[in-house]
Copies of this chain bind each other. A is one copy, B any other.
Amino acid sequence: MRELKTLLYEQVSRIGKAMASPKRLELIELLCQSEKTVEMLSQQADISVKLASAHLKELRLARLVDTRKEGKYVFYRLAEQGVADLWVNLRGLAEERLVDLQMGLSSMVTHGHDLRGVDRKSILKQARSGEVVVIDVRPGDEFAAGHLPYARSLPLTELKKRLAELPKNKPVVAYCRGPFCMMAKDAVALLQKRGYQAFKLDDGVAEWRARGLPIEQ
């Protein structure tokens, strides 16, 4: 009776443990974008390959991620959609804490012209009608793995040379991996300096999907 209960809560806590490390959370967020190799993950999360491998092992043990081998590369991916939803849920709960802890977060939250309050469905509608241009500033492979409807891929790294593709008479909405990612922020800063009407959308695909909105491939 008691033993059974202990067993049950232990199982759930294994998932909690897996989400109890900052590095692992960052890896999960990256995997919300697309499947990636250990090397890609280690680079994008700014950690050693060894450490990434160790953390990924933990995540696999907790069944939050799965792997696929292709040649000498091992691709990791989320085991199911629910993992991304849990990440969004967890981060949402933490965000309140972040603001009232007066964290450096303020430098991210106060991005001047953001779309925090704007209704997501109205953005979707305006994007469809062409009233606004939605750009996805993540690397191209992440865009290919899934992106917001009507979004155009324009990776941050190519933004400078491809500015001409964007209209100056329409609002441009940029998004990236989610609220903790700085790519959209940087893109908006650049665009605004060049005279574009640029806005940042805090959502990434995980947030978008967790709220039941559609994702395209």
Interface residues of chain A, those whose CB is within 8 Å of chain B, are 1-17, 19-26, 46, 63-64, 80, 82-83, 85-86, 89-94, 96-98, 101, 103-105, 107-108, 180, 182
CA gap between A135 and B215 in the complex, in Å: 42
Cross-chain contact B83 with A93 (CB below 8 angstroms): yes
Q: Are B82 and A93 in contact (CB under 8 A)?
A: yes
Interface centre among A25, A64, A92, A180 (most CB of B within 10 A): A25
Q: Assuming the A-B contacts A4-B104, A20-B17, A22-B6, are A12 and B94 also in contact, with contact meaning beta carbons closer than 8 angstroms in the complex?
A: yes
Given A9-B23, A9-B25, A22-B10, A16-B90 contact (CB < 8 Å): yes
Given known contacts A63-B97, A80-B93, what 20 new A-B pairs fall within 8 Å (CB)?
A: A3-B104, A4-B104, A4-B105, A5-B180, A6-B22, A7-B105, A8-B108, A9-B23, A9-B180, A11-B94, A11-B98, A12-B94, A13-B22, A13-B24, A15-B94, A16-B21, A16-B90, A80-B96, A82-B89, A86-B90
